[in-house]
Amino acid sequence: MTDSTDVSTETRPAPEPEEAPRKRRTLSPWLEYPLLAAVALGLAFLIKTFLLQAFLIPSGSMQNTLQEDDRVLVDKLTPWFGSEPDRGEVVVFRDPADWLAGQQTKPPSTVQKALGFVGLMPAADEQHLIKRVIGVAGDTVECAGTGPLELNGEPLTEPYVYAGNTPCSDDEGGRFKVTVPAGHLWVMGDHRQASQDSRYHQDDPHAGMVPLDDVVGRAVVVAWPLTNWSTLPIPDAFTPEK
């Protein structure tokens, strides 16, 4: 007796011929490069409009917190969610009432022009200042003699004031007592005897105050040069109860 084994006789379809690989379509360099440039400019515009923007420190009015020619990154996102500048923050703002009139400014470098062109830094002809917020709406700020600076009747301890400076200046403009109106800020530089800040513009249309509408954002970090890299936290002197 012979064993038999069943063998399937089902026929399988013949494999289909493989398709030739499709050629990747590429743009002509004449189209690709302008397109990439447009995308880069678009991203730069979005970043500088809604997220971060770099600003050049033009003077020593914020020493030693900031040095001349430092580059700081400014948070422009937070204000979009309704947050307003708080006491102790370092803010960048547009010149509110010709504070920079008559002051000499350095001509922009090639790098600054290039970054200004793509929007990562302000254009060379834009006028901005950077100071520390001392008083917000409803606060009373007072200076008499050489200090200390008083906020709502309480003296402030200000370790950020430039070494050798006094918190207040015993001169015209340096002696004051003001109450900050709604929608405004009172700002001062950390280099007190070398800062033309709110104290010295009390005769302008805003009485030396900075309108909130002119605030670009809060400086959060010193990004360049790397040797000066640091964050810019709110000092302990500005506690919530003040």
Just list the catalytic residues. Answer: 61, 131
Residues 167 and 156: their CA atoms lie apart, in Å, by 9
Pairing state between β 128-135 and 90-94: antiparallel
E strand map for the chain: 52-56, 71-75, 90-94, 128-135, 140-143, 150-151, 154-155, 176-179, 184-188, 210-211, 215-224, 230-231
Local structure of 200: helix, strand or coil: helix
The two tokens of residue 185 are 């800020």
Pairing state between β 71-75 and 52-56: antiparallel
